[in-house]
Structure 1
Amino acid sequence: MLSIIIPAKNECAGLSLLVPKIRAFYPLSEIVIVDDASEDDTKALVESFGVRVISHPYSKGNGAAIKSGLRSASGDVVVCMDADGQHRAEDIAILLSKLEEGYDMVVGSRSKTGQASIQRGLANSLYNRFASWMVGHRVDDLTSGFRAVRTKKFREFMSLLPNKFSYPTTITMSFFRAGYSVAYVPVDVQRRLAGTQSHIRIWQDGIRFLLIIFKIGTLFSPLKLFLPISFVFFSTGLSYYLYSFLTVGRFTNMSMLLFMTSVLVFLMGLISEQITSLIYKDTQLTKDDGS
């Protein structure tokens, strides 16, 4: 069974077009719309469609809406998509077709023209490159909210998902680091409907995205972060030692401090790596069992 989760906040215009199309293409699917305390007619509209509606008493954020929908979804596969008119019901088939090839998650990748603005496109490009380095795999679109995921594996990481707009970042990096199969397929992303506004704040949510990348990176591969920092301290200590030796002919306390810091940071990373292995073992056992 297929479940389609759509978080919505003041998206009456978009839902009025999207939900009927989904019903036409997937009449047997379960549509779960999470109303994140909308102030317009979103709730009344979706209730008239006869779909499952989850209403938040106050606005909790896009990630919290996804988690609410995920808890109630009964399908083996969930498709997450936005309600603002950017994602097309026709493209769900592209994600599902790729998922059937054996992938655990398929993400709809936006082109440069599909980005909301030049600034957003440049920021997403930076996030994609940084995330690719952290997880050791190419990440084409880290922040895309249009994806098809196997429900059981999605729920394994639900406790890690933030309540705001960083949930795509978290689940993407979590899947990569857990060793699950992730694929990207290009999709045609539409412009937002006239009169609708994005709830994403460029600077605040941009910083949050970077923090999420660090958080997930350290959660699944701590040495990926600790080792470069340790190397920086070691290189700085070595450079300062050479400078002090050539100028005053002695080994200074600052050099010793930098070398010790380098060793301590490395050991912290090593211990964190071992702790991560213990935390991760349950997911690994589930994967090895083929479940």
Structure 2
Amino acid sequence: MKPTVSIIVPAWNEEAVIFRTLRYLRESADLAWDEELHYEIIVVDDGSRDRTYEIAWPWADKLVKHRTRRGKGAAMQSGIDKARGDVLLFVDADVEASAGHALALTEPLLRHEADMAIARLPSPAVQAGFGLVKGLARRGIYRLSGYSTAAPLSGQRAMRAECVRELGSLARGFGVEVALTIDAARRGLRIVELDVPIKHRETGRDWHGFMHRGKQFVAVAAALLTRWREGRFG
């Protein structure tokens, strides 16, 4: 049977950018398509209050809508539940024209050289925060799993579908990638990190940016605490 790559795009209030992200994903998938490999794009609208769903509709093979916001982890899980691919590729909705580069993450999995591939992104043009969230995530992952990562927060990653499902339900919220890396390392999965030129919408040193990073810090801390408890009492 021909392998399929399921590209899962969780989105919340991304009407301004999701068109470009999906367009470049679709174009890259069409260029990469051959008789031996199929692609599908799954968009999960996590309770958006804007036109994310309507804009995504023409570009998605499958479209899921949550009636209320349930968090990034829940959106990723809904995508997994709908996916039929042998490899799952997670791509954030705000990476726009750089989205097509994410397909490179599937290559080591399709060659059976890895079970998870994580994108190491270029440094932002302007340093937005103080590195507190990334530092917490990196140290926490190492202490709880022994795995040293350069990209602890990267949402751009590919995994074997069978491995994802063996790990069980994903953590909720912005701590999902941290928990997923810990779970994969604890299970002994083969993890690789690749330099991929994907660029996010950058947050600045304004009130919105600090609020976003504050919420992310709390979510990462909660994910680490949950995995610590599971490791100690599980």
Which of these residues, 7, 10, 13, is aligned with residue 10 of structure 2? Answer: 7
- Partners of 1:219 and 1:91 in 2: how far apart? 35
Q: Give the counterpart letter for 2:5 in structure 1.
A: L
Q: Give the counterpart letter for 2:58 in structure 1.
A: S
- Partners of 2:197 and 2:14 in 1: how far apart? 20
Q: Give the counterpart letter for 2:22 in structure 1.
A: V
- Partners of 1:124 and 1:143 in 2: how far apart? 7
Secondary structure at the aligned position of 1:75 is classed as coil
Secondary structure at the aligned position of 2:78 is classed as helix
Q: Do the aligned partners of 1:67 and 1:158 also contact (CA within 8 Å) in 2? A: no
| Change beyond 3 A, Cα 1:86–1:177 | farther
Q: Do the aligned partners of 1:5 and 1:34 also contact (CA within 8 Å) in 2? A: yes
Which of these residues, 91, 94, 104, is aligned with residue 81 of structure 1? Answer: 91
Give the CA RMSD over aligned residues. Answer: 2.5
Does the alignment pair 1:48 with 2:58?
Answer: yes
Structure 1-normalised TM-score?
0.68
Matches within 5 A, 1:238-257: none
Structure whose residues are more often helix by fraction: 1
Matches within 5 A, 1:199-278: 201-220=212-231, 222=232, 272=233, 276=234
Secondary structure at the aligned position of 1:26 is classed as helix
Which of these residues, 99, 104, 113, is aligned with residue 115 of structure 2? Answer: 104
Structure 2-normalised TM-score?
0.83
> What is the match of residue 254 of structure 1?
none
Instruction: Summarize deviations over 1:122-170 as a string: whole Å, max 9, x none.
Output: 42023212321321121221111100000111112232x2221111011
| Change beyond 3 A, Cα 1:114–1:193 | closer
- Partners of 1:199 and 1:49 in 2: how far apart? 33
Structure whose residues are more often strand by fraction: 2
Q: Do the aligned partners of 2:133 and 2:216 also contact (CA within 8 Å) in 1? A: no
**More moved, 84-93 vs 131-140:** 84-93
- Partners of 2:124 and 2:172 in 1: how far apart? 28
Report deviation, 1:217: 3.5
- Choose 1 or 2 for highest CA Rg: 1
Report deviation, 1:2: 0.5
- Partners of 2:137 and 2:219 in 1: how far apart? 11
| Change beyond 3 A, Cα 1:138–1:213 | same
Q: Give the counterpart letter for 2:73 in structure 1.
A: G
Q: Give the counterpart letter for 1:98 in structure 2.
A: P
| Change beyond 3 A, Cα 1:165–1:87 | farther
Secondary structure at the aligned position of 2:41 is classed as strand
Report deviation, 1:19: 1.2
Secondary structure at the aligned position of 2:75 is classed as helix
- Partners of 1:82 and 1:116 in 2: how far apart? 20
Q: Which has the higher contact order (CA 8 A, sep 6+)?
A: 2
4+ runs deviating over 4 angstroms = 197-200
> What is the match of residue 158 of structure 1?
168
Instruction: Summarize deviations over 1:41-68 as a string: whole Å, max 9, x none.
Output: 1111112235210011111111110000
Q: Give the counterpart letter for 2:80 in structure 1.
A: L
Q: Do the aligned partners of 2:118 and 2:193 also contact (CA within 8 Å) in 1? A: yes
Report deviation, 1:114: 7.0
- Partners of 1:218 and 1:143 in 2: how far apart? 21
Query: Mind listing any 5+ residue stretches in structure 1 that lack a counterpart?
Result: 223-271, 277-291
> What is the match of residue 24 of structure 2?
21
Instruction: Summarize deviations over 1:216-235 as a string: whole Å, max 9, x none.
Output: 24424x3xxxxxxxxxxxxx
Count of aligned positions: 219
- Partners of 1:136 and 1:42 in 2: how far apart? 39
Instruction: Summarize deviations over 1:94-138 as a string: whole Å, max 9, x none.
Output: 21223225210000023443787223x342023212321321121
% identical equivalent positions: 26
Q: Do the aligned partners of 1:36 and 1:60 also contact (CA within 8 Å) in 2? A: yes
Which of these residues, 64, 70, 77, is aligned with residue 60 of structure 1? Answer: 70
Q: Give the counterpart letter for 1:186 in structure 2.
A: D
Secondary structure at the aligned position of 1:201 is classed as helix
> What is the match of residue 34 of structure 2?
none
Q: Do the aligned partners of 1:9 and 1:37 also contact (CA within 8 Å) in 2? A: yes
